[in-house]
Amino acid sequence: MKKFQPKSEYEFENKEDTSGNGIFTIEHNLTKTRFLFIFPDNKWTKLRDVQFYNSKTKGWSGEFWESKISDSEIKRLDEFLKPAIEIGWSSEDFYLFGKHFQSNVYFNKRFNGKKFRYYTGFGCMWILIFPFLWISTLLMKSKIIVGMKKVTIEPTKTFTNIV
C-alpha cells in the first residue's frame, strides 16, 4: 500500500469478512478515483481481482484478474495501476437516447493507444442493434451526431506530495 501515501489523501474502506471475502476500497479524496481490491485473502498473498474507476465516467479499468502475490505479480499490478496513479487516463462515453451503451477507456490522457472497451445498456438487444450502435459510435466520434462525452481523469500522484 506504499502507493497510497500520504494516507490523509485517501479514504480506506474494508468490507472483508473473517474469511477474506469482500472488497477493500481506496478512494483518492481529490480525484475521486476508487481502487477496488476484490477478495484478498487474510494475509494479502492472493487477490481475486483489482479494478479502478471514477464517478466522472462510465468507463473503468477492466479487470486485473486473480493473482498470487509475487515479485512478478507486483510488477504487473504496478503496471495495471499506473494510469490511475502516475499518468492519468481518459474515457469516451457513448450515450444513445440518454442511455450509456459503450465506453472506450484509454490508459493515457490523450484518447489514443491501448484501450479497454466497456459495454452497458440494451442487454441482449446488443446483438440485434449492433450495426446501428456501431454506426452511431462512428458518427459520434466524427461529431456528426451528439452523444459522446470525453472525460479525462488526472493521476492521483499529481495531487500527492510523495516524500
Q: Where are the domains of the chain?
A: 7-88, 89-153
Strands (E) located in the chain: 10-16, 22-28, 33-38, 46-47, 49-54, 67-68, 89-96, 99-106, 115-119, 148-153
Q: What percent of the chain has pLDDT over 90?
A: 63
**Cα 122 vs. chain centroid, distance in angstroms?**
21
* Confidence category of residue 19, pLDDT binned at 50, 70, 90: low
Which 8-state DSSP code applies to residue 159? Answer: G
Q: What is the 3-state secondary structure (H, E, C) of 21-48?
A: CEEEEEEECCCCEEEEEECCCCCCCEEC
Tens digits of per-residue pLDDT, 74-130?
A: 999 999 999 999 999 999 999 998 999 999 999 999 999 999 999 887 878 888 898
85: left (phi over 0), alpha (psi -120 to 50) or beta: alpha
- Model pTM? 0.85
- List the single range of 98-112, 125-139, 142-156 with lowest mean pLDDT: 125-139
Mean per-residue pLDDT, 36-63: 90
Give the confidence band of 5 by pLDDT, cuts at 50, 70, 90: confident
Write down the pLDDT at residue 18: 66
